[in-house]
Structure 1
Amino acid sequence: MEIHLKIVGVLLIVLASIHLVFPRYFNWAEELKSSSLINRQMMTVHTFFIALTVLLMGLLCLTSFTEITETNLGKKIALGLGLFWTVRLIIQFFGYSTALWKGKKFETSMHIVFSVLWTYLSVVFWITYFN
């Protein structure tokens, strides 16, 4: 399981880094112009804290894989992370309209890639918890 937690750690750090390009890629300056100041700033602040949380999850997996797999607290953390990523997987299918990706090559590819990623993260943490 150690190798999988290290892989998860790297994947989560990469995922956290991807959040840095969201404002430019999704053209938030223009797209959010009609939103109130609080809504524009909430998008930025929440995106930052999501990225920070994902980064910290990744660092935890890279630096504390032994504790996660061999201690009661680690198992509880794995349980929480398994639940977190399983809910994220469910949201991938029920929280977004298929109109956002269906029939669009790049968006469909990303939907599949992230569905596989959320599944992998969920499985690794659930197996870690139950082992």
Structure 2
Amino acid sequence: MEIHLNIIGYMLMLLAFIHIIFPKYFNWKEELKHLSLMNRQMMFVHTFFIALTVFLMGLALVLESDDLINTKLGRKIIFCFAIFWSIRLFMQLFVYSPKLWKGKRFETIVHIFFTGFWVYISAVTWMIWNQ
């Protein structure tokens, strides 16, 4: 299972770095200009902290996979990760509108990839917690 935590960890760190392109890719300069300064800055600050959290989760999975699997505290952390990523999977499937990706080739590929990734993370973390 350690290898799975390492794979997930590296992929989460990569995902964190992908957040850097969000403002340009999603055209935030134009899309957010009608928001108040507080709401606009919250988008940037929250995106930064989401990326930082995802990166640090990934780093922990890479550097401490043995402890996460084999210690009481590690297994509690894995349990929390399992809940977190399962909720993220739920959001992917039931909160995001299919209008965002259906009929759009790139968006559909991204949707399918991340659905699979959230399933993978959720399954691995639940399996480790249930050992």
Partner of 2:36: 36
Q: TM-score, normalised by structure 2?
A: 0.98
Matched, 1:70 2:70: yes
Structure 1 residue 128, shift from structure 2 partner? 1.2
* 1:118 lines up with 2:130 in the alignment: no
What's the CA shift for 1:95? Answer: 1.1
**RMSD over aligned Cα atoms:** 0.6
Amino acid paired to 2:99: A
The one-letter code matched in structure 2 to 1:7 is: I
Alignment of 1:1-131 (within 5 A): 1-131=1-131
Measure, in 2, the Cα distance between the counterparts of 1:65 and 1:99. 38
Q: What is the letter of the counterpart of residue 38 of structure 2?
A: I
CA deviation string 1:63-100 (max 9, x = no partner): 00111000011000000000100000000011111111
Unaligned runs of 5+ in 1: none
3-state SS, counterpart of residue 46 of structure 1: helix
* Separation in 2, partners of 1:15, 1:125: 18
TM-score of the superposed pair, with normalisation by structure 1: 0.98
